[in-house]
Amino acid sequence: MDTRTKILEFIKANSKARSEDIRREFHLNRSIIHRHLLKLLQENN
């Protein structure tokens, strides 16, 4: 699984959002992705 897919799966699991909504957020609001990515990285360390 590539990094982008991991991020999308992580956000979907945490927000209970649909995949289409997540893809839309990924393009429209990178700050949300950035916050989730930081959280994901912290949990992996």
Per the structure, how many domains does the chain have?
1
| Helices vs strands, H then E, count in the chain | 3, 0
pLDDT on residue 1: 64
Per-residue pLDDT of the chain (45 residues; tens, 9 = 90+): 688 888 878 877 776 656 677 677 666 677 777 888 888 888 887
Please tell me whether residue 18 adopts helix, strand or coil conformation: coil
* C-alpha span between 44 and 23 (Å, rounded): 23
- pTM metric for this prediction: 0.33
The residue segments making up the domain with residue 29 are 3-44
pLDDT on residue 22: 67
CB-CB neighbours of 22 under 10 Å: 19
* C-alpha span between 2 and 4 (Å, rounded): 6
